[in-house]
Amino acid sequence: MKILFIGDIVGSPGRRAVCELVPKLRARHALDFVIANGENSAGGNGITPATAGEIFSAGVDVITSGDHVWDQKEVVELFAKEPRALRPLNYPAGVPGRGAGIFAPKNSESKILVLNFQGRTFMPPLENPFQLAGAEVARWREQTRLIFVDFHAEATSEKIAFARMLDGRVSAVVGTHTHVQTADEQVFPGGTAYLTDAGCTGPQEGVLGREMAPVIQRFLTGLPQRFEVATKRVQLQGVLIEVDDASGRALSIQRVVEPL
C-alpha cells in the first residue's frame, strides 16, 4: 500500500495546495491512501466542517489533528458527523471525537488503522501516550497490521522515543506540530517507517506559516501580536511511505516537497 501523509495544513494557502496538488500526486504515485494533519487549516488556527470538507474533496481520506484542534468551536459538529476526522487519542474519556479509526481504501483489499496521539513535553498535559499506545496498538492489530501513527509533539526526543517503542508493532510513525520538515526519514529495524516532522503545507516565506514581521516584533518586545497567515512560496510538504500489506512492515519512506 502506498500512503501519502501531508504535514500540517496552514490556512487557505495550505488548503489551496492540497486541492491542486493531491489529485496530481495520487495519479503520479498511484497512491492508495492519503492522510493529512488539518488542525491549522481554518485561518491558521483550528479546523471547521467547511475546511475539512474542502480537504476531503481534494482526495484526502483521513484528517488528523493536535493541540489546536479546539480553536474553532465548530469542530465539535465536525466530530459528531465525520468519522474520518480524528483528534489526539490521549484526551480524557468523554471528550468529543475519537483518536483512532480503521479505514478501507477504495483500491485495496487491505484495511488501514490511523492513530492520532499528542505528546506532553512543552505541550498541554494529556494522558501519557507511551502508556496508552501499546495496548491500543495490540487491540487493533487483531484487525489489521497496517497501522499509521501521527504523533503530534514538540520535542524531538519524545517523538523518536515514542517511535522506537512502537518499532515492529506499527507500519509508520510520523511527527507533526513543528511545521519544519526534518531530514531523518528511515525504516527502523523492526519495519516501522519514521520521520520526526512532516513539515508544513502552506506558505514557506514566513515563520511557521505566519507573516514574519509580527512574529519578529513579538520576540523583540514581548507584546501580543496578531499572527496572520503568510502567502508566499506555498508548498505541500509530507512523506510517501510504501507498506507491505501482509506483514504491515514499511518497505520505503520518502520525503515530499511539492511547490504549488
- Per-residue pLDDT of 60-104, as tens digits, reads 999 999 999 999 999 999 999 999 999 999 999 999 999 999 999
65: domain CATH number?
3.60.21.10
**Whole domain around residue 107: which residue ranges?**
2-259
Whether residue 241 contacts residue 3, with contact meaning beta carbons closer than 8 Å, is answered with yes
| Statement: the pTM of the whole predicted model exceeds 0.85 | yes
Q: Which residues are catalytic?
A: 68
Domain count, the chain: 1
Mean pLDDT of the chain: 96
Identify the pLDDT of residue 228.
93
Q: How confident is the model at residue 107 (pLDDT cuts 50, 70, 90)?
A: confident
* Cα distance between residue 9 and residue 236, in whole Å: 8
